[in-house]
Amino acid sequence: MEYSTLLSFAIVTLSQTISIGPGVALVINNAFSHGLKSSIKTSIYIRIGETIVMAISLFALSSTSSTEQHFHIIKIFGGGYLIYIGLMGLIN
């Protein structure tokens, strides 16, 4: 994998980790509802989940950059998923 690709991935992942989102809302909610100990546990579990997703994403990025066929298959599945989401939005 090229260093520019790895650097881009690191920047996007870092910005996703820093941004405030539903995880922060959950940690704050747990802090008020169940105390500091529960909110620390929740924060750790969120970071573990983000690390797992990041590792899977990095693996997928490295495998798709190695072969053109894998990248084409992922593009087809991604397009199919977008069509599915659009149809579900129209139906509901």
Tens of pLDDT, residues 66-79: 777 877 888 899 99
Instruction: Report CA Rg, the chain.
Output: 18
pLDDT, position 34: 95
Tens of pLDDT, residues 46-67: 889 988 988 888 887 777 767 7
pLDDT, position 47: 85
Percentage of the chain lying above the pLDDT 70 cut: 96
| Domain locations in the chain as residue ranges | 3-67
- Supply the pTM of this predicted model: 0.58
